[in-house]
Amino acid sequence: MNKKVLFDLNYGLYIVTSKEGDTFSGCVVNTVTQITAEEKPKLIVAINKENYTAEIAKKSKKMNLAVLSQEADMLLIGKFGFRSGRDINKLEGTEYKMGNNGIPIITEKVVSYIECNILQVIDCGTHDLFLLEMQEGEKIEEKEPMTYHYYHTVIKGKTPPKASSYNED
């Protein structure tokens, strides 16, 4: 089986945030998909089970998604993609606003955001698949969203081992 064909699938780059009580975390993900277009659209997000953000999201039953722009730099991506919220306060020095659901929304180098309720969590082995229902959404800037291809070819970013698309080959 040639797993390299999976690199032909198109992905974006997003920062997922969640908060339970006073505990906040956020992480970078590349697997977000809209699956319905009804009044309150449904989406899915995959997050590695070991990520602190997945743990908090399961407790809070809410999360926010920020769509990164092509202007997002490795400082922002590195803070949310390669560091754990167990070890650092990712909001420190990061532009954000509070969502209507009480969860911070990253607004730094972001084109839009979506506030969601978690309807279901599906165990997919190393990752949990979160079925979401959109509650709010806002366009922040008319700029190009960052794709995973852009991240790899232009920014020359690496894929962390916990990413859903990680392949050590």
Q: State whether the Cα torsion 159-16-93-72 is positive or negative.
A: positive
Chain centre distance of CA 42: 15
Q: With a cut of 90, say whether residue 103 has pLDDT above it.
A: yes
Grade residue 163 by pLDDT with cuts at 50, 70 and 90.
low
Give the DSSP H or E segment for 81: helix 74-81
More confident position, 132 or 5: 132
Instruction: Tell how far CA 35 is from the center of its chain.
Output: 16
Has residue 6 been placed in a domain?
no
Tell me if 164 is assigned to some domain: no
- pLDDT one-digit tens code per residue, 82-100: 888 888 899 999 999 999 9
Asked if residue 169 is part of any domain, the answer here is no
Q: Does any domain span residue 2?
A: no
> Which domain, by its residues, includes 42?
12-153
In the chain the first and final C-alpha atoms are separated, in Å, by: 13
Reply yes or no on whether the pLDDT at 1 is more than 50.
yes
pLDDT of residue 157: 64
Task: Mean pLDDT check: name the lowest of 38-47, 48-57, 106-115, 150-159.
Answer: 150-159
* 149 in any annotated domain: yes
DSSP one-letter string for 13-36: -EEEEEEETTEEEEEEES-EEE--
pLDDT at 73 over 50: yes
- What CATH number is associated with residue 95? 2.30.110.10
Alpha-carbon radius of gyration of the chain: 15
pLDDT at 152: 75
Structural domains counted in the chain:
1
Instruction: Give a yes or no: residue 167 inside a domain.
Output: no
The pLDDT tens digits for 25-63 are 999 999 999 999 999 999 999 999 999 999 999 999 999
Residue 166: the pLDDT is 43
Is there a domain that residue 57 lies in?
A: yes
Is residue 158 assigned to a domain? no
